[in-house]
Amino acid sequence: MLYNKTYNLDQVACASEGNKDAQQIINVMKAANKELKRMMTTVRIEDIDSMLDEMMDLMDVSNEIQETLG
């Protein structure tokens, strides 16, 4: 009988720790989500597209130079 009570208390303690861990994970996820949203307000897709286009143009020029040099 005592073993069963001890086992039940261990289960409750384990469940309690699991809930605490889950709450910490949720808090970290909320903070990360908030930070990501803040960061995304400073990023514009148009700027990224433009930068990628410029990089591709520069790579094309570089390839032309390499082909010319042989």
pLDDT 10s digits, 5-21: 677 888 888 999 999 99
**What is the C-alpha separation between 23 and 32, in angstroms, rounded?**
14
The pLDDT assigned to 43 comes to 85
- The structural domains of the chain, with segments of one domain joined by +, span 2-69
pLDDT 10s digits, 9-68: 888 889 999 999 999 999 999 999 999 999 988 888 999 999 999 999 999 999 999 999
**What is the C-alpha separation between 41 and 31, in angstroms, rounded?**
16
**What is the C-alpha separation between 3 and 9, in angstroms, rounded?**
10
